[in-house]
C-alpha cells in the first residue's frame, strides 16, 4: 500500500514542479533598478514569484485545483531590499542549491547547511580590508557565540546593507544598526528562538540613562556593548551586560570613545573648526566631548581679566582706606 502512495506523491510533485518551471515569469512589473544591479533578475523571479510575495499560488493541474498559500515571513524576500543589499548582484542559486528549482523543494535542499560569511569572504585578498577573519574571532569571544547563532542572525544576507561605512545620513545608519539588535532584544518571539532567558525590556534596563530617547537615536547599541577594536571596522565582540559601558565620561569627554566607534568612519571627512571632536557636530552634539576650544580660551581670558580688574579695584580701595 505504501509504494502507490509514494508514487502518487512523486507524480503530484512532478506535476507541480513542471507547472512552476514551465510558467512564464512576468518581469514587466519589476522595477528597472533591479536590472541595473543584477544580471539574473529573470532567473531569480522563478524563486521570488513565491518568495517575493506575501502569498503564492499553489496549483495542481492534475486535479485542476489552485489555492493561495501564505508565505512564511521568514521565507519572504523583499525585492527592493534584496536588490539594494550587499549581495544585490547575486543569483539565488549562487548560494542556494539548484535543487530548489524543483517544487515542492526536496528535503535534502531544505536541510543543507547555509553558507557562513567566511565561506566566501574569508582568507580572500579581495575582502582583506574588511578583516572578516578578525570579525569571526571577535564573534567567537562574544556572548553571541551560542548554539544556532550565526552571522545571518544579525546580517540578513537578503537585505543587509553596509550602511555605516557608506553613511551619508548617520542618523539613518544608527537606526538601521540598532534595529538589527532590537529585532531580537525587543522582539521576544525572535529572542526566545535562541535563548531561554527571560524577556528583556530595553527601555526599562536603560532607565538609568539620561535623555534615553536621544541616546537611542544618536548612538548605536554597540557603542557601549562592544569592546573597541581598531583593526576592524565595526566591533563584534558583544560584552556581557555587566561589562557594558556605564561611565558617561567614556563618551562625554574630549577623549570620547565615540571617535573610536561611531565616528570612526567619518573621521577622515571634514571637521567643523574650533570644536573638540568636531566631526561629531556634523550630526550631533555631545556635552563634554564637543567643547568649543576657541570659546574655552576666550572665556578663561575674559574671566581672568574681570578677576584682575576686581583685584586692582580692591587693592586701590584698601590703599584709599589706609590714606583716609
Q: Does 86 help bind another protein (rule: CB under 8 A)?
A: no
Sign of CA dihedral 85, 89, 94, 97: positive
Q: How many CB atoms lie under 10 A from the CB of residue 82? A: 23
Site string for another protein, 118-157 (x = CB under 8 A): ----------------------------------------
**Residue 172 interacting with another protein (CB under 8 A):** no
Q: Which is nearer to another protein, 187 or 249 (CB)?
A: 249
Residue (of 236, 227, 269, 231) closest to 128 by Cα position: 231
Task: Select 41 or 219, whichever has its Cβ closest to another protein.
Answer: 219
Nearer to another protein, 150 or 296 (CB): 296
* Distance in Å, CB of 243 to another protein, minimum: 17
Residue ranges of alpha helices (H) inside 56-114 are 79-82, 92-95, 107-110
Q: Given the complex with another protein, which of 235 and 286 has the nearer CB atom? A: 286
Smallest separation (angstroms) from another protein to the CB of 128: 33
* Gap between the Cα atoms of 193 and 148, Å rounded: 9
What are the residues facing 70 on neighbouring strands?
55
The answer to whether residues 39 and 89 touch, using CB atoms and an 8 Å cutoff, is yes
Cβ neighbours of residue 217 closer than 8 Å, sequence gap 6 or more: 171, 174, 175
Q: Which is nearer to another protein, 142 or 253 (CB)?
A: 253
212 binds another protein per the rule CB under 8 A: no
Query: Which residue in the block uniquely carries the three cell numbers 578677576?
Result: 307
User: Looking at the DSSP assignment, which residues form a beta bridge with residue 66?
Assistant: 59
Cis omega (within 30 of 0) on the bond before 104? yes
| Binding residues among 283-322 for another protein as defined by CB under 8 A | 283-285, 287-288, 290-292, 295, 299, 302-303, 306-307, 310, 313-314, 316-317, 320
Residue list 257-286, contact with another protein (CB under 8 A): 281-285
Answer yes or no whether residue 210 interacts with another protein by CB under 8 A.
yes
Do residues 134 and 231 lie in contact, with contact meaning Cβ atoms separated by under 8 Å?
yes
Shortest distance in whole angstroms from residue 247 CB to another protein: 7
**At its nearest, how many Å lie between another protein and the CB of residue 288?**
4
Q: Which residues pair with 56 in a beta bridge?
A: 69
Site for another protein, rule CB under 8 A: 208, 210-211, 213-214, 247-250, 252-255, 281-285, 287-288, 290-292, 295, 299, 302-303, 306-307, 310, 313-314, 316-317, 320, 324
Amino acid at each position: 500500500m505504501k509504494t502507490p502512495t509514494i508514487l502518487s506523491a512523486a507524480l503530484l510533485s512532478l506535476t507541480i514542479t513542471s507547472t512552476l518551471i514551465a510558467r512564464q515569469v512576468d518581469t514587466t512589473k519589476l522595477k528597472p533598478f533591479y536590472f541595473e544591479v543584477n544580471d539574473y533578475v529573470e532567473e531569480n523571479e522563478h524563486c521570488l514569484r513565491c518568495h517575493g510575495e506575501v502569498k503564492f499560488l499553489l496549483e495542481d493541474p492534475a486535479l485542476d485545483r489552485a489555492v493561495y498559500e501564505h508565505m512564511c515571513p521568514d521565507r519572504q524576500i523583499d525585492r527592493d531590499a534584496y536588490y539594494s543589499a550587499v549581495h544585490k548582484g547575486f543569483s539565488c542559486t549562487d548560494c542556494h542549491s539548484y535543487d530548489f528549482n524543483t517544487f515542492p523543494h526536496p528535503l535534502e535542499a531544505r536541510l543543507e547547511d547555509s553558507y557562513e560569511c567566511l565561506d566566501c569572504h574569508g582568507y580572500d585578498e579581495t575582502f582583506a580590508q574588511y578583516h572578516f577573519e578578525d570579525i569571526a574571532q571577535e564573534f567567537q569571544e562574544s556572548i553571541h557565540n551560542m548554539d544556532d547563532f550565526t552571522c545571518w542572525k544579525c546580517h540578513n544576507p537578503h537585505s543587509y546593507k553596509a550602511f555605516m561605512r557608506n553613511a551619508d545620513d548617520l542618523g539613518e545608519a544608527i537606526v538601521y544598526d540598532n534595529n538589527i539588535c532590537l529585532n531580537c532584544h525587543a522582539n521576544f518571539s525572535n529572542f526566545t528562538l535562541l535563548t531561554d532567558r527571560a524577556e528583556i525590556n530595553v527601555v526599562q534596563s536603560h532607565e538609568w540613562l539620561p535623555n534615553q530617547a536621544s541616546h537611542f537615536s544618536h548612538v548605536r547599541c554597540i557603542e557601549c556593548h562592544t569592546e573597541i577594536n581598531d583593526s576592524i571596522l565595526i566591533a563584534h565582540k558583544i560584552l556581557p551586560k555587566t561589562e557594558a559601558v556605564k561611565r558617561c565620561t567614556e563618551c562625554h569627554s574630549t577623549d570620547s570613545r565615540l571617535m573610536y566607534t561611531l565616528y570612526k568612519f567619518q573621521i577622515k571627512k571634514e571637521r567643523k573648526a574650533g570644536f573638540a571632536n568636531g566631526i561629531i557636530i556634523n550630526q550631533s552634539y555631545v556635552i563634554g566631548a564637543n567643547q568649543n576650544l576657541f570659546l574655552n580660551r576666550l572665556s578663561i581670558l575674559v574671566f581672568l581679566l574681570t578677576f584682575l580688574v576686581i583685584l586692582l579695584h580692591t587693592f586701590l580701595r584698601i590703599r584709599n582706606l589706609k590714606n583716609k
